[in-house]
Homo-oligomer: A and B are copies of this chain.
Amino acid sequence: MQNEDNLRHSCAHLLAAAIIDLYPGAQNAIGPAIENGFYQDFDLGDTTLSENDFKKIEEKMREILKNWNAFEVKEVDVEQAKKDFAWNKYKLELIEEFAKTGKTITENNPGNFLDLCKGGHSSNPKEEMKHFKLLSVAGAYWKGSEKNKMLTRIYGTCFSTKDELSSYLVQLEEAKKRDHKKLGRDLDLFVFSDLVGKGLPLWTIKGSIVRRELERFIVDEEIKRNYFHVYTPDIARIDLYKTSGHYPYYKESMYTPIQIEDEEFMLRPMTCPHHFELYKSQPHSYRELPMRLAELAKLYRFEKSGELMGLLRVRSFCLADAHIITQSKQAGEIVNEVLDLIEYVADVLGFRKNEDYWYRLSLGDREDEVKYFKSDADWDTAEGVLRDAVGRREVKNVEAANEAAFYGPKIDVQMRNIHGKEDTAFTVQYDFVMPKRFELKFINDQGQEEEPVVIHRSSIGAIERIIAFLIERYAGAFPLWLSPVQFTILPVSEKFHEFAKLLHDYCVQNGIRSYVSIDNKTLGAKIREATLQKVPYICIIGEKELEGKRTDAVDKDTTISTRTRSGEEKMNINFYEFINQLRTEIETKQK
């Protein structure tokens, strides 16, 4: 990959050379290689660029590249560098910084374009750099700070071979089609409103069905596994989070306080202290442990408006959260049972071990007493328990230093979104700190007070995030049980409306989410619409389909012809049998 990074970073120079040639007065800022490509930032003055300009720019890049034989690199002193880049205020600012910190200043020139750069380039640019492509354009603040000027950022990529480039571009197109933001709009699953505010999705009629199905699935599954699903308030006094210790650690992620009479209340950033208060409302015996307190909890965490993204990064989300209060000797067993649940749930949703998700063991740092609670023995025990649990799984895992919670280590279940960005989908955390802070106790089998440990966990994570992953996983063509509309009935003309409604009524009585399309669009338009909406099953009701059949009632002889969203057709199948087949497919949550 190092080689490809060099290639891509070199390509950022090439893009800079082309832009500066094409747009007089343009100044290039930084241009690093990134995962699968590169970007280059520009101050273009009043000029705005769009993807329509890419062809022209790429042609210019090709033209320039002909004369790029090799990157010549040389060290220069501050004075020389300032002279060379007098025309570029961004480079000047960087030179000043390098001078202050005593860094070496290097310039390079691949042929006819002098740039400030610390190196790492293609060794044979003219030949190696041929297979590039510009991809998109966006705004980006200089040095990432909103206080600075907004620059124009052009993204592109470059590969060693033409085939690699092509297959990457195909993959990108595919990703675009699966993008949950695009599909969320196209399939009308969720919307945003300026008046309601950024990062706060409103779930539409269709999206709400997906959400409710998921919520009920996880609540029912957890109840089966001896969880107690409870309800606790979404706001609480600031003192609760001071007691938990979240306030100092998470302050930056919390919203400003709400004043009620003479007290300050916070939108909750997490559920744990609420569950601990519930636990503490009664004394408990070891016989009641492990006590699995779960909640579909709405949580509120600050995200900068610039970092919000669809359902993946929002300002309020609903976490399928739980806190398992257990005797410490049972902790390993509990972590294991949680991983069983996670793997079961991932499987039902169609996420594959190793391919779609893997484990990350996020560890503490014994030396960092600011970030982590100090208790080496507890950390050793906890990390041992988690490492052991992860080790016994058939799922690949990595260890990540310094990624633990302040109260203990955790197992993160990692997934990638369609753009390749890795995110934590679910998590299992071992907590030996909160029980102390909240003075949680139970009476052990010797009749003595003892301190439990707490396993924090999410099973399907945040509802918003898992739905984003699901949309991208299925490109919006959800399994039947999750599909907002499961069956669309298309009468070819008004004559067949009544019979279509009878079929629809039978579906509804049998728990099938069916829809009869009775507006005055053409049949072709209706089929297209249902297909675009990725409805799993369609049936058309017309003269041909009903020939010789009674149309005043649905009975055991009723037959229909169906087609699936992938185009598979079945003619004259028994309607009752078809509905039974759908019911089975729904009940077994077929993928």
Contact = CB atoms under 8 A, between A and B. Distances in A.
A475 interface: no
Interface in A304-324: 304-305, 315-316
A430 to B, nearest CB: 23
A243 B197 CA distance: 14
A195 B234 contact: no
Q: For A196, A205, A212, A229, which residue has the most chain B Cβ atoms within 10 angstroms?
A: A196
Nearest to A302: B260
Contact of A197 (B237, B278, B281, B316): B237
A387 interface: no
A315 to B, nearest CB: 7
Nearest to A230: B208
A236 B197 contact: yes
B193 A281 contact: yes
Contacts of A228: 205, 208
Contacts of A315: 260
B278 A204 contact: yes
Interface stretch (A11-19, A251-259, A578-586): A251-259
Contacts of A235: 197, 200, 267, 300, 316
Given A196-B240, A277-B195, A285-B519, A233 B201 contact: yes
A520 B208 CA distance: 47
Nearest to A513: B223
A141 interface: no
Given A203-B230, A316-B235, A287 B519 contact: yes
A360 interface: no
Contacts of A285: 519
A217 interface: no
B193 A277 contact: yes
Interface in A555-572: none
Nearest to A273: B195
Contacts of A208: 228-231
Contacts of A304: 261
Given A208-B231, A261-B304, A302-B260, A237 B195 contact: yes
Given A230-B203, A234-B298, A256 B258 contact: yes
A448 interface: no
Taking residues whose C-beta sits less than 8 angstroms from the other chain, chain A's interface range is 35 or more
A255 to B, nearest CB: 5
A265 B315 CA distance: 12
A280 B196 CA distance: 12
A148 to B, nearest CB: 16
A48 interface: no
A212 B219 CA distance: 10
Nearest to A193: B277
A100 to B, nearest CB: 31
A228 B212 CA distance: 11
A285 B518 CA distance: 12
Nearest to A277: B193
Contact of A278 (B191, B230, B280): B191
Given A196-B277, A202-B274, A278-B191, A234 B234 contact: yes
Contacts of A256: 258-260
A371 interface: no
A281 B236 contact: no
A302 B316 CA distance: 22
Interface string A364-399: 000000000000000000000000000000000000
Contacts of A219: 212
Contacts of A302: 260
A261 B197 CA distance: 12
Interface in A196-254: 196-197, 200-205, 208, 211-212, 219, 228-237, 239-240, 243
A263 interface: yes
A229 B216 CA distance: 14
A145 interface: no
B230 A281 contact: no
Contacts of A260: 197, 255-256, 302, 315
A423 interface: no
A298 B293 CA distance: 21
A507 B282 CA distance: 27
11 contacts: A191-B281, A196-B277, A197-B237, A212-B229, A234-B298, A235-B316, A255-B258, A255-B260, A255-B265, A256-B260, A287-B518
Interface of A: 188, 191, 193, 195-197, 200-205, 208, 211-212, 219, 228-237, 239-240, 243, 255-256, 258-261, 263, 265, 267, 273-274, 277-278, 280-282, 285, 287, 293, 298, 300, 302, 304-305, 315-316, 518-519
10 interchain residue pairs of minimum CB distance:
A200-B233, A193-B277, A203-B231, A191-B281, A205-B228, A208-B230, A196-B236, A195-B240, A197-B237, A256-B259
Given A195-B239, A208-B228, A233-B316, 5 more contacts: A196-B233, A197-B240, A203-B231, A234-B234, A255-B260
